[in-house]
Amino acid sequence: MQQLDFTVYGDDLQFVEITLDPNESVVAEAGGMMYMDDGVTMDATLGDGSASSAGLMGALMSAGKRLLTGESLFITVFHNPTSMKRRVAFGAPYPGKIVPINLAEIGGELIAQKDAFLCAAKGASIGIAFNKKIGAGLFGGEGFIMERIQGDRTAFIHAGGTLINRDLAPGEVIKVDTGCIVAFTRGVDFDIQFVGGIKSALFGGEGLFFATLRGPGRIWLQSLPLSRLADRLYAAARHEGGRSREEGSILGGLGRLIDGDNR
């Protein structure tokens, strides 16, 4: 199977440029396209555009799975109908790294966080992966419903912050913040565990639960989950908003008390 020609540009704010051969296509989430050469066509298709979603019922099933992960019913297909090579580029949604993964080299299947998928060669199947364990289902957070990317094509996922990958030996276990999991290969066992003592749970600042990943298999981890980035930005915005209200008063908080503002 011929793999995509691509180049990843940038350091922390990356984008991937894909060179499409004549009649070659890629699929991507809506809103990810950065630019494309003249001649490349763009079309929204129901489902993921793979062979498994061919026909109306297949497309509806594929679209329903995407809906469960919080994505759009439609995926965008970028096709090169010309006789020349054409380029199309996709940008990362927030600071981090774009990771190309040859699905054929990892057993044809990748389980990824539902917001990690960026684009893939057309033919890759993008579905859902439910974790069947009670702990993961009730307390997994980002890890409960994940995306299952299958096939023998190249797929691109995005990780926030700095990315690492590790190969776990059979039986080897690593404990991870649930939001820091980007993806893992088939064979890795995923579960959720309580952090332990009440003191650590209430005052440790790391949440009540963490994920355990047990080998064998390869895992990809990120240092800056989108949820963590959003929390920090929201807290900073609230703090700056409070400061801006106080800067207009010489007395600051005391002035607000005198004015009868007890917020």
Q: What pLDDT, on the 0 to 100 scale, is given for residue 93?
A: 84
Q: What pLDDT, on the 0 to 100 scale, is given for residue 144?
A: 58
Distance CA 217, CA 167 (A): 6
**CA dihedral angle for residue 60, residue 62, residue 64, residue 65, rounded to 10 degrees:** 170
pLDDT digit string (tens) for 156-180? 999 999 999 999 999 999 999 888 9
Residue 150 or residue 199, greater confidence? 150
DSSP labels, the chain: -PPPEEEEE-SSS-EEEEEEPTT-EEEE-TT-EEEE-TT-EEEEEES--SGGG-HHHHHHHHHHHHHHTT--SEEEEEE--SSS-EEEEEE-SSSEEEEEEEGGGGTSEEEE-TTTEEEEEBTBEEEEEE--SHHHHHH-GGGSEEEEEESSSEEEEEEESSEEEEEEPTT-EEEE-GGGEEEEETT-EEEEEE-SSHHHHHHSSS-SEEEEEESSEEEEEESS-HHHHHHHHHHHHHHHHHHHHHHT-TTTHHHHHHTT---
Domain ranges of the chain: 5-232
pLDDT digit string (tens) for 220-255? 999 987 766 666 676 777 766 665 555 544 444 444
Q: What is the CA radius of gyration of the chain?
A: 22
Mean pLDDT of 17-28: 95
Mean pLDDT of 25-34: 89
pLDDT digit string (tens) for 32-63? 899 999 999 999 876 656 554 454 555 455 54
Mean pLDDT of 65-80: 69
In the predicted structure, residue 19 carries a pLDDT above the cut 50: yes
Cβ–Cβ < 8 Å for 151, 124: yes
In the predicted structure, residue 111 carries a pLDDT above the cut 90: yes
Residue 244 or residue 209, greater confidence? 209
Q: What pLDDT, on the 0 to 100 scale, is given for residue 257?
A: 42
CATH class of domain segment(s) 5-232: alpha beta
Angle at 201 between CA 200 and CA 203, to 5 degrees: 65
User: What pTM was computed for the model?
Assistant: 0.75
Q: What pLDDT, on the 0 to 100 scale, is given for residue 258?
A: 44
Mean pLDDT of 12-35: 92
Instruction: Name 31's Cβ contacts closer than 8 Å, sequence gap at least 6.
Output: none
Average pLDDT, the chain: 78
